[in-house]
Amino acid sequence: MSTVSNEPTEASILAAKLAVEPVCAIPELAVKSANQAGGIWLWVRDLLVSAIASILIITFLYQPVRVEGTSMLPRLEDRDRLFINKFVYHISSIERGDVVVFHYPRDPEKSYIKRVIALPGDQLRIDRGKVWLNGKRQPEDYVPEEFRDSKSMAEMVIPDDTYFMMGDHRSISSDSREFGPVERSLIYGKAVFVYWPTRDAGVVR
């Protein structure tokens, strides 16, 4: 038995091309659109993750605060904005020289910012403005000569779980010389970085 097959004509070939080519172009455009949409989504996702991470860091680790007053001159000026680290003292100890923020012992609704001068168990005395710790005179380079005073204070031993605080501008500072050592539970942050104004920007030391 003989068989025959239909040979394609030019018209049928052209029709087949017209039928196939548009169908192939549609998925290509769809892939490009999908890639673009995917790229935008990745960018938005990364932006959202960064924003959430920043909020969590500020909320749980750092807190912006504003300085009110001049008792910490010359490093901190009135209305300086700075970040305090609220987490650091959960994993490390408070050290002499740290600039800390704490609830004012006489009114916990207020917050003070001062420098830690003496730790629990330290023997402290102040002789005409000069600070002596455990029998040694403290250099205190952070206190300019013009900000010193001539006040004295009898020797005392800092009680357990308390810290003796003083402002760097000694002649005007209300500090532990007036209200006594500050309980550890009242200290809630360490000053780390001034961010505004830009002329004062930098690490707090």
pLDDT tens figures, 92-131: 999 999 999 999 999 999 999 999 999 999 999 999 999 9
pLDDT of 167 above 70: yes
Residue 110 CB partners (closer than 8 Å, separation 6+): 103, 104
Per-residue pLDDT at 50: 84
CA–CA distances in Å: residue 158 to residues 95, 155, 197: 14, 10, 36
Which of 71, 173, 176, 190 does the annotation list as catalytic? Answer: 71
Predicted local confidence at residue 42, as pLDDT: 84
Please report, as a single letter, which amino acid is at residue 201: A
> What burial letters (b/e) apply to 62-88, b meaning 16+ CB within 10 Å?
beebebebbbbbebbeeebebbbbbeb
Work out the average pLDDT over 157-172: 98
The torsion angles phi and psi of 153, rounded to 5 degrees, stand at: -145, 135
Q: Tell whether the model's pLDDT for residue 34 goes beyond 80.
A: no
Quickly state the pLDDT bin for 17 (edges 50, 70, 90).
very low
Can you say whether the dihedral through the CA atoms of 23, 24, 28, 29 is positive or negative?
Answer: negative
pTM: 0.74
Q: Report residue 75 as tokens.
A: 């490093």
User: What's the chain's average pLDDT?
Assistant: 86
Catalytic residue among 54, 114, 136, 151: 114
pLDDT at residue 20 greater than cutoff 60: no
Which region among 3-12, 39-48, 101-110, 137-146 has the lowest average model confidence (pLDDT)? 3-12
Is 71 a residue of the active site?
yes
